Amino acid sequence: MARFDEQIREQNPWWQGPDRLADDPHLRELGRAGFDWTPPVAEAIPLEPGGVQTLRGPRQVGKTTTLKRFVQRLVASGERRVLHFSFDLERDNRASRGVVVRAKRIHPDPEGPW
């Protein structure tokens, strides 16, 4: 599972500080879009500390961008331990548990609540 460490760090730049959200490619692209649209699902999914959410759907409909907007909201509210991981290319159904275990080990605030 160590192979996930770099991917986890890359996909969670806000772990280094809230200002690093600006480094996220999906959020940069959203900022260049020229309009702001909030998909209905964004209001339907509760964001609670310790919660686990998944979002499924067809390709290229805005799932990742919606999730990154959730991250923005959580980080803005003071949450530091927000994990995002894209399993697009992963074929091992046990990988999700491994990613969470690795993320807990490598997070810069390992003693904080999950």
Mean pLDDT to the nearest integer, 7-25: 90
Q: Is residue 72 part of a domain?
A: yes
Task: Determine the Cα–Cα distance for residues 41 and 54; give it in Å rounded to an integer.
Answer: 12
Please check whether residue 33 lies inside any domain of the structure. Answer: yes
Average pLDDT estimate for 12-33:
89
Predicted confidence at residue 56, as pLDDT, reads: 83
pLDDT band at 9 (very low <50, low <70, confident <90, very high): very high
Name the DSSP letter for residue 62. Answer: S
pLDDT, position 110: 63
Is the confidence at residue 114, as pLDDT, over 50?
Answer: no
Specify if 114 maps to a domain.
no
**78-95 mean pLDDT:** 84
What percent of the chain is helix, strand and coil (3-state, nearest 5)? 50, 0, 50
Number of domains in the chain: 1
Residue 111 covered by a domain: no
Mean pLDDT score, 75-92: 85
pLDDT of residue 15: 92
- Closest listed residue to residue 99, CA positions, set 114, 113, 80, 111: 114
Provide the percentage of residues in the chain whose pLDDT is more than 90. 14
Q: What is the token pair recorded at 88?
A: 């697009």
Place of tokens 């074929």: 91
Q: What is the pLDDT of residues 31-43, one digit of tens each?
A: 898 888 788 888 8
H helix intervals, 1-114: 4-11, 25-32, 40-44, 63-76, 95-106
Task: Report yes or no on 20 lying in a domain.
Answer: yes
pTM value is 0.80
The token duo for 16 is: 């280094």
pLDDT for 89 equals: 77
Report yes or no on 112 lying in a domain. Answer: no
In a domain, 32, yes or no: yes
Domain holding 94, by residue range, is 4-106
